[in-house]
Structure 1
């Protein structure tokens, strides 16, 4: 926790009058105070609404301990005999507070200890960041890491709030109408058939508080075969991709309906835009699959094959562009390209890039913000400023590519990316997940870089928080 030790000792002897001193003038012992549990350097104390949080302390030569009044919704109880301080916060408590402790009788402006408090009742700030973790598929459940706008990291935020866990091998999450939907591959039963204690294959939570509002067990979603990705238009149109294709889940009735024509939908994130859901078919005849709430069937939009520098015979990933078009990364005849595709006119603008990026298990091959496109080759990060006014030839695209950094050169423990790239839509910051290796995945890093800054000096680096991260996710703009 981000605490500030303002006074490590308090000279109580100065408060004593000369008349009260003993004849040998022996000075009174200086009081000492320190927390023994519940307070972590660099982080505030996190308090779940409605759940008491107890901090323990050790004090010597201290006649008494008092706390400055806390703001609305907060309660505090000090037990000197037990050496403990218990904090409670209501659902509507002020989310940020400061605990100031003083020795009995000391001036309020000279606290013995000061520590920041956070009530975990708000997670929907657009400047926050989530990292969904798969967890080890044979030994543990999925989890949700949260980075606050101030840069505080809350490990396993879902379990902290709910006291229970996400499903085994959490794969993807979606935001819609104030709720978060998390899909896991195995739910409460891992690939070896072992039973896990968790909240099931699909978990729905309140986007503001992270409190679970609904869940669907393996049995309730028995029609799914290793689900990997999810998109949501509303409560009755929850789209889940699995080994067979795309299914629509009616969250009110629990009914699963297969979306006709969605066979071979790849293990890749959906795009949700214009009230519709998009995925794709990759191959010699590549297509965009458009799914509307009016029909449980895909509308196929064929990608153009001629008139551009790099023919398309493989789609590596898609993402919504800020201008209403769609980013599409493609590969064909030895060349990789970034494309901007207009779904209505089917016009396409293409720029060649220098490598064929690896998409990773989550199907994220690139990340884009405004006209900046980021991708990786191993642990080396590149950026393409996508210039539509440039001449349409291969050289113009290749000349524009920028080599930004190699994270393994910044930290030898960053041995490989794992579902690695994201760009924060509110700040434009580039985010990267790396691990030392598959065997040493507990040694890991979350990187943040300023696109206008020095890529040899990250804005932030958070170490050893992730467990096989499935990727970055961001709250909806309010």
Structure 2
């Protein structure tokens, strides 16, 4: 039943996206790219419409100039269907393209295409690196709860050399000196665990119980912080969201906070000794030395007429928020300072979901 509800939600989203204008679906290079230099600025990953193969990447240079559709502009071909996430290793950028079942590898400074990774990639989500390997979470066939895995990629050859079976719905993944932590969002179901993987043996060594739908993880001072959204009321079995602090030396939960009924937090970031998380259109700040939820938000994005707060990053002492609007219109990225004061906005493309620093 849970997967049926998720499938219904996806079908509704597809129907909405089918009402996009042709301009939204077409790949248009509206600003010529800079002359081969993407070294100083930030990338914005735009999902694009599901099944439309119009995912894209925008670049905002340090002067605030926006260059949209840079993958297409440099390589003269589309990026693919649903850009999920992006990660960097040395001089390469790895773009995880979910519905195309590919990893597009480019030079992070010129954005010239290097290779497309396709073998042993099925519904990929996120990736991290340790030494000369990348680890990529894959849902496999979302309707099959038993085929989920972490793909191990050799970063020298860009070939998948192993797959590690894991529980359903592996999503966010982080590395702590060769120990990998995988949050089980749940795929079409609803997960509530963090898998611990040993990169040397490439096996799952333990599992940590958390609240439902762990979505975001951050590492700080040998502690792992996990933000769980909980099941929404639309599931018919609403559960509480939670924030967990896990000691990575013991893999034991040392502190946890449950959110109020009906409160489902979204994104999580850490800057210095402060934790930032989002809730609907609000951003909250929490001091890590005082592990308790704030009673009031740091700021609210309503004054910028935020549609859907979909992406969230902290880069160079600024907060960047991606607005997916109505999922059918081109999005925007808003910049705030760490005090929550609005600074600037940038026009990007369809459904921006992530902001990445390339300075």
TM-score range, shorter chain: 0.7 to 0.9
Query: Residue 466 of structure 1: SS of its match in structure 2?
Result: strand
Partner of 1:101: none
1:206 matches 2:142 = no
Partner of 2:212: 314
1:410 matches 2:304 = yes
Query: Residue 472 of structure 1: SS of its match in structure 2?
Result: strand
Q: Give the deviation of 1:240 after TM superposition.
A: 3.7
CA distance in 2, matches of 1:285, 1:462: 35
Q: Give the deviation of 1:285 after TM superposition.
A: 9.6
Q: Give the deviation of 1:238 after TM superposition.
A: 4.0
Question: Aligned pair in 2 of structure 1 residues 280, 320: CA closer, same or farther (>3 Å)?
Answer: same
Within 5 A, what are the aligned runs for 1:82-101? none
Q: Highest relative contact order (Cα 8 Å, sep 6+), 1 or 2?
A: 2
How many residues are paired up?
A: 310
Are the counterparts in 2 of residues 265 and 279 from structure 1 also a CA contact under 8 Å? no
Are the counterparts in 2 of residues 145 and 155 from structure 1 also a CA contact under 8 Å? yes
Question: Aligned pair in 2 of structure 1 residues 131, 276: CA closer, same or farther (>3 Å)?
Answer: farther
Partner of 1:296: 202
Q: Give the deviation of 1:202 after TM superposition.
A: 1.6
Given the alignment, which residue of 401, 418, 433 partners 2:322? 433
1:384 matches 2:291 = no
Query: TM-score normalized by structure 2?
Result: 0.74
Larger Rg: 1
Question: Aligned pair in 2 of structure 1 residues 286, 377: CA closer, same or farther (>3 Å)?
Answer: closer
CA distance in 2, matches of 1:124, 1:241: 30
Q: Give the deviation of 1:144 after TM superposition.
A: 0.9
CA distance in 2, matches of 1:330, 1:186: 24
1:263 matches 2:167 = yes
Partner of 1:467: 350
Q: Give the deviation of 1:389 after TM superposition.
A: 4.4
Where does structure 2 lack aligned partners over 5 or more consecutive residues? 1-29, 141-147, 231-237
Are the counterparts in 2 of residues 173 and 229 from structure 1 also a CA contact under 8 Å? yes
Are the counterparts in 2 of residues 337 and 351 from structure 1 also a CA contact under 8 Å? yes
Partner of 1:337: 242
Query: Residue 135 of structure 1: SS of its match in structure 2?
Result: coil
Are the counterparts in 1 of residues 227 and 265 from structure 2 also a CA contact under 8 Å? no
Partner of 1:180: 93
TM-superposition CA deviations, 1:106-141 (whole Å, max 9, x none): xxxxxxxxxxxxxx32x234xx32111121223333
TM-superposition CA deviations, 1:374-393 (whole Å, max 9, x none): 33333x21313234346xxx
Q: Give the deviation of 1:450 after TM superposition.
A: 0.5
Q: Give the deviation of 1:235 after TM superposition.
A: 4.7
Q: Give the deviation of 1:334 after TM superposition.
A: 5.4
CA distance in 1, matches of 2:74, 2:242: 43
CA distance in 2, matches of 1:319, 1:254: 27
Question: Aligned pair in 2 of structure 1 residues 340, 436: CA closer, same or farther (>3 Å)?
Answer: same
CA distance in 2, matches of 1:224, 1:370: 35
TM-superposition CA deviations, 1:207-238 (whole Å, max 9, x none): 2222222223xxx42x4332222223355444
TM-superposition CA deviations, 1:124-180 (whole Å, max 9, x none): 34xx32111121223333211111222221112222333333222111111112211
Partner of 1:232: 129
RMSD, aligned α-carbons: 3.1
Within 5 A, what are the aligned runs for 1:38-437? 46-48=33-35, 120-121=36-37, 123-125=38-40, 128-187=41-100, 201-216=102-117, 220-221=118-119, 223-243=120-140, 244-250=148-154, 252=157, 254-260=159-165, 262-266=166-170, 268-281=171-184, 286-303=192-209, 312-330=210-228, 335-345=240-250, 346=252, 348-353=254-259, 356-357=263-264, 359=266, 365-378=267-280, 380-389=281-290, 397-398=292-293, 400-411=294-305, 414-417=306-309, 419-424=310-315, 426-427=316-317, 429-437=318-326
TM-superposition CA deviations, 1:432-464 (whole Å, max 9, x none): 11133134x22x32111111253xxx111113x
Query: Residue 263 of structure 1: SS of its match in structure 2?
Result: coil
Question: Aligned pair in 2 of structure 1 residues 452, 415: CA closer, same or farther (>3 Å)?
Answer: closer
Query: TM-score normalized by structure 1?
Result: 0.57
CA distance in 2, matches of 1:214, 1:234: 20
Query: Residue 349 of structure 2: SS of its match in structure 1?
Result: coil
Are the counterparts in 2 of residues 315 and 328 from structure 1 also a CA contact under 8 Å? no
Q: Give the deviation of 1:259 after TM superposition.
A: 0.2
Are the counterparts in 1 of residues 139 and 168 from structure 2 also a CA contact under 8 Å? no
Q: Which has the higher strand share?
A: 2
Are the counterparts in 1 of residues 183 and 195 from structure 2 also a CA contact under 8 Å? yes
CA distance in 1, matches of 2:244, 2:227: 6
Where does structure 1 lack aligned partners over 5 or more consecutive residues? 1-39, 49-119, 188-199, 304-311, 360-364, 391-396
CA distance in 2, matches of 1:135, 1:331: 24
